[in-house]
Structure 1
Amino acid sequence: MLYLAEVKKQIKGFIGGAKTELKLLACQHNDQTWSAVPGDETIACDEIAQAGEGALVLVNLSNNRQLQGKPELAGIELVRQLQKLSRLLEKTKDQQEEIEQWKQSLSIQSEELTRRQMDMEARLEQIDQMQEEFQELERQRQEMEANWQRFRAEQERIEQLHRQIGPIDWNSPQVGKVQAIIGRLFANLDRATAVEAQIQSAREALERQQTLLKNHLQQLEQEKASLEQRQNDINQHSEAIKTRKQELESLVAALQESQIQLQVRESLLTSKQELLERTNLEIGATEDLRKILTGAGDTQSKQQVDIKTLENMPLGELQETVKNLQADFDKLVRFVNDQEEELSLQCQAVAELEEKLKTANDYDRFDLESELAEEQERRKMLDETLFGQRRRLRERQAILSQYLKVLRRRQGVMEIEDNLQQINLEPILLQLKEKKRNAQQDRQRQEKEIEQLHSSIQELRRQIAQQESDRAVKTQELQRQEANWEQAKAALSELQSRIKLYEEALTPLQSNLTESRQKVEEVARLFSSVEQPQAIA
């Protein structure tokens, strides 16, 4: 399992070995999420050359807390996690803005639906009123049909009476009956006059209803034409919004790309500044080491040996002491030579990375900078280690030289310097000189690169500010267009509902009105055909 740990303590041994104590801070789960490690759990591992106390590293531990693989610096992973978190926050912000837009759209649609409901209720009241008027006309039609049936019955009775009585004898006893029948006929004539008036009234009411219905039908045709025009406008508006969204997405993608480039260059600038600081420290350490090596007499003068004690020491014991010092000195010489060889290889690795860095692009540069920083940190630690080892070697050489002088003098040998193992410092001094010259060239190059990075970062920041301004303007414009589009869609939906309501209400009304007019005309025609025989009679 992967853990994030903090370097708490590094304990160095006498000649190179070291142990590092790590405090576990957080662990990564299978679903790529992180959680804090409770308590102050620590583990021990070998020395981490590229990390000092307080640095954050990534370690891979088994279930029994055994270290697997080498610890790695956590800087790159933290930057990656921060970028992921930043994108997640940006996405959450966009979703919140989209939710707010939907809330506003739903509020507008709710208001439109309320207004449309009120309008529909008013229309329904008008339709109910028209239905009541039609019902009244239907009742009058039924009354006319009933009157018509009575007229037919009276007409048949009169014809039957004519057949029964034949020619009228005004002196016969049947005159009274005839007069009674005539009286009933005159009463029916009065009733027929009333029926005729009702027919005329029904005709006038039907004409008024037909005029009103015609006006509504004309309004329906106008709204159908308006519906088609609004539908075309909404389609054009939808295409314009789609184009705006594509432009905004392109602008957002460009803005994100610029922000990523800015983060990369800022990280690169930080690495460059740290690298420049290390280079300055390296130049100072190299100069200090050169002074120490060229000032070997000062080092020797500081080593105080009790000559009187050596003069009084038994010769055999002095010989044994010199032998042990000589063995320790030879061992230290071999160790320093191995360290010098390792430092040379490390310097070669740093030089190769610097050459790769010169031709790397912006994306590879970040990884190369991190790797170069790690290699330079190792080189720095080797320098610091060799710095102390060289000084210690010079001190051991001075002590051994004084012991040998006393021993050879007591043995009667006066020339002893030629027999002492001397260290040829000339190659080291030449190497230090070359190293200092390379470091000064690196410092000039790094200062120039830092200056270029400053300029490019400022330009990127101006570009990002302009892109953010353009995005804000385009976002507001898109929101305004979408709000207008939603309002137009609501108005179109209202118009469609109104047209559908008109069609559902007016079509049966027109049918009923036509049917009622036909029946009224039929009653009037039949009434006229009945009225003519009565007038003749």
Structure 2
Amino acid sequence: MLYLAEVQKKSGGLIGGNKAELKLLACQRSEQNWSAVPGEEIIPSDEASKYNPGALVLVEMTAGKQVQRIQEAARQLVSILQNFSRLQERFKAQEEEIEQWKQSLTYQSQELNRREMEMEARREQLEQMEDDFEKLEHQRQEIETLREDVNRQRDELERKNQELEGAWDHLRGEMRRLEERQAEIQQSAQLDDDQARALHELLDRLTANAPQSSASREQLALVLELIDQQQAILTQHWQTLEQQHNTAQQMQSEVDRQGQEIRDRWQQWHQSQDSMEQARGELKAQQKVLDSKREYAQMLSLHLQNHDDLNQQLFRLAESSDGITLSGQQVDLAALEKMQLDDLQKLVQDLEQELQKLSQFVESQEEELRYKQQEIDELQAKIQAANEFDRLNLENELADEQDGYQMLNETLVGQRRSLNDRRGLFNQHQMVLRRRQGQPADDGRPAGIDLGPLATQIESQRHQQAEDLHKLESQIEQMQTAIQQADSMIASQVQDQQNKRNELKQLEETLTSRRSEVAQIWGRVALYQEMLQPIQDKTDALRQKLDEVSGLLGQGEEASNQQSQAIAEIRQILVSLTNTPELAAS
């Protein structure tokens, strides 16, 4: 089992020395699970003596608390902390996502509560409408009953009218007979008592059979009053229906406006999406251009390295061959021939001392350059075998070493050239001095070959390529910055587009719910109208029937009045014919 422990050392006196112990701090339960060791558990270990007191180590132990292996805990702790940091970032992102879900659920809960309240209000409204319809149905039944009574009374009135018409026909016949009798009795100018009494009985019977319309008129007025009450209730429901119709139209207009707004926003979203995809395409094209420039920069770096290698080979060739020089300076040989021999000798000695100093300095720089190359090779080997965490630190260290190597190498290029110029200058002075001293100028060496012009040309080309590389690296850096900014902008646009898309989806869901609500309201309006219209039609038809009955009652009253007037006139005629006032009084 793996433990995290602290190294402790206790003094064992003059003879025993220091004893190393391990204080167990935590125990690994699983790959990502550690638990603290309760209390203070100390394990003696001789292997821990090579670690400093207070150092944290990882200890592999058996079930019997026997130490198997000890290793430093620094890297493992750093890895654990990195994993913990990544887990914290992941948890933070999940917490933000959960918070967004909470806000969305809170909004949905509030929306559901609002819809529930609206449905409750609509349910109460429907219950009220049902109660009103029940009342209307009850009134409709009462009206139907009254209508049946009115129809019955109308039938009775028509029957009585028919009887009245029959009585009128009988009266007209009696009047014709009376007129005939009057013509027969004009000579006598009066009727006998039996005839007069028979006529009076006939008139009394007509008077008794005259229709009485006052009761029918009262019943009709009561029915009309009920019809007016029902019409007032219907008018209220029609007004409520009109209000609901206006509300439905307003909600429909609002839903249509929101739908058009969402369609416009979707169009804008698609346009932004197309622009973002175009920007992605441009970014990919810039990335390809950047890759091409990087390849060209690598090629220039390789050319510069080749130039450096060629210069080093020329310098080594000049150093190893006595007949080859890299002189960059031209010596005034005539002036040296005229110079005092002692002065010339002193000048040659000074040049030799300077050449030795510069040679020693360049050699030390060359040694340091070789040492740096060895360090670079070692770091590259370590990177190949390192884990992910160590590779990052080693790569940073390798980059620093390569920068130092590059700077030192560039410095050595000029120093090597200066050294070769100094050597060529010294050789020319020494050759003149030996010739003037009577010594062989070349010590039997062949005539020298000056590679200075070639080295100068190579250096000129290297300088030009170095400038090109510097400009190219500047362009690469600018392009990298621009690409990073564009990539960040596109990432921000992607997140913004995703947020807008989620918002539009939520608005569409809300709009769908609103459309469903509007459809329900239109359905209620249509149902309300379908229920009200038949009742209104029946009420209008009943009122029309009652108006017809009222007209018939008026006609009956007018006929009754005419009948009474005719009976009175006949009575007067009978009185004048019979000279019996007691009959007139009856």
When the two structures are superposed, what TM-score results if normalisation uses the length of structure 1? 0.46
Larger Cα Rg: Structure 1 or Structure 2?
2
When the two structures are superposed, what TM-score results if normalisation uses the length of structure 2? 0.43
